[in-house]
Amino acid sequence: MIDNETPRERIVRSLKEDIEARERQLKKVERLPIEVLKERFPEGSWSASWGDTFEFCLPYSFALIPEVKSFMRNAAPEFELERENQYVWDRGEANPSAGFFLEYNTNEDTWRERIHFQIAFRTGREGTTCVLNQIGTKEVPVYEVTCAEGAAESISKGE
């Protein structure tokens, strides 16, 4: 936030920064291996997310992961495998899900120039061969919100 900036000026500045970020993202799309990945793995789908990242999503299959890694080494060597992550989302959902992620980057000097994308293998995709098996349970804390008496009164008066 800039000193002496009005709320309107702050909103306009923020929107302009968002537009600049999206324009940078548009330029990066030209360098992504979109067509080669989609041609080799037609069951996958591309998406863009905020923060200059992109995702190519495939079904979760352990056999597919090394196949994709090998393909990337040969077909898109300018993208380096930076990290591999596996997540399980168990937020009390009726259908918990999991994902395995290969994160790729180019090696430009600054993060603004770098192109980052991930190949996501997700259990929710058609064609998935991996399933989640519950192996235990965990206890989680339970919270309630309490307020000072004056705060509680001001909330109840506004209803």
Q: How confident is the model at residue 100 (pLDDT cuts 50, 70, 90)?
A: very high
Residue 153: pLDDT band with limits 50, 70, 90 = low
Q: How far apart are CA 36 and CA 71, in angstroms?
A: 10
Helix (H) or strand (E) run with residue 99 in it? strand 97-105
User: CB count, 10 Å around CB of 53?
Assistant: 15
Distances 48 to 57, 59, 75, 96, 120 between C-alpha atoms, Å: 11, 18, 21, 24, 13
Q: Which of 61-70, 110-119, 126-135 has maximum average pLDDT?
A: 61-70
Domain range annotation of the chain: 1-30, 32-157
Task: Give the whole-number percent of the chain exceeding pLDDT 90.
Answer: 50
Q: Are 2 and 19 a contacting pair, CB within 8 Å?
A: no
